[in-house]
Amino acid sequence: MQEYNLKYGCNPHQKPARIYLDGGGLPVKILNGNPGYINLLDAFNSWQLVKDLRQALGLPAAASFKHLSPAGAAVGLPLNDILKRVYFVEGMELSPLACAYARARGADRMSSFGDWVSFSDTVDESAAAILKKEVSDGVIAPGYTEKALNILKTKKKGGYNIIEIDKDFEPDDTEMRSVFGISFEQVRNKTVPGEKDLMQIVTNNKFIPKEAKRDLIISMITLKYTQSNSVCYVYDGQVIGNGAGQQSRIHCTRLAGDKADTWHLRQHPAVLGLKFKDGLGRPQRDNAIDLFLRDDITENEEKAWEQLFAEVPLRLTREEKNGWRRGLKNVSLGSDGFFPFRDNIDRAYQSGVRFVAQPGGSLRDEDVLKACNEYGIAMAYTNIRLFHH
């Protein structure tokens, strides 16, 4: 039995800690760094996500993970000039895999600070060049080119965590965990959501274009590896808002919707025109943009925020922000469980949702269906719950 001893578990006082695989060698190689317990949980969950995306859609994929949930996930579609500016990749050579990570990181840059990254394919120099510029804890992929590996080994003063995983490794069908000394056992969730799960369209609007089907599949696969309850907004091949770990479904929908709104507002001309002080790093710029877009900024926050700019900008009014938000349309939304009330649809529509995939099965399905029909939303019942704990 091969094992790897860790510095500690979830917290520094939880020692000793290790990972191991009964009856065989581990399917991973640590090429650089010294990953911890939470790093490895993020690594193995995020790898499954991008592997599923690759299998379902046939496109290179990337994910940005924080504390066992994806802050962002995407497939490798090209970026327009505005997104290149928003994602800080202007003038860079972008392979499809690099585009996937730029999108995944760009979904929620505040949450992705210090992320764990996963790639579905061998990491190339282009993807490594983007990752080098971001604050990140580590990366997992099925391989790395020599140039990419050399680039990544320079991160964190040579201590960046780099893991290579056997892309052909398949675990046993049964998975186990121990909680409070008691063993739990279940069949591993091997379902890979796909177009087959979008056939039961129950709304008056029966049309879901192929791009929206792709995005609904991305939402469902992302939800499969997101701490429940969760709701996920996807647009143009990438997550734009993921609401994870909320006890109430509407709070998931609001949280994810607020993130989607922020993603869209970052493309506003006023944001693109912000003039930061020279030398201000990416994390500080992300924080400054977040404060610029917030309605509830305090007086003390505003004073500190103003010091980040070469020219203090004129803040957008609520009316200006709401007007810009209304330009976001054709967003796809997935939910890991059924919607118990129509308020989820009412909130989702405000953030441009026009396509929905959810399991169905609520006592109030008719109320939810009625709301979709009022807004012209196309909704599919997947009959698949995607809880993850």
- Chain Cα centroid distance, residue 290: 18
Strands of the sheet containing 61-66, edge to edge, are: 28-32, 161-165, 136-141, 115-119, 61-66, 69-75, 238-244, 230-235, 331-335, 353-358, 378-381, 200-201
Which residues are CB-contacts of 80 (< 8 A; sequence separation ≥ 6)?
none
Residue 213 appears among annotated catalytic residues: no
List 51, 66, 268, 321, catalytic entry: 66
List 161, 229, 287, 344, catalytic entry: 229
Contacts 24+ apart (CB under 8 A), 43-48: 43/116, 43/118, 43/138, 43/140, 43/163, 43/165, 44/140, 45/225, 46/70, 46/116, 46/117, 46/118, 46/140, 46/225, 47/118, 47/140, 47/165, 48/225
Residue 67 appears among annotated catalytic residues: yes
List 190, 210, 303, 389, catalytic entry: 389
Q: Is there a contact between 144 and 122 (Cβ–Cβ < 8 Å)?
A: yes
List 67, 153, 167, 251, catalytic entry: 67
Residue 388 appears among annotated catalytic residues: no
Active-site positions read 66-67, 229, 389
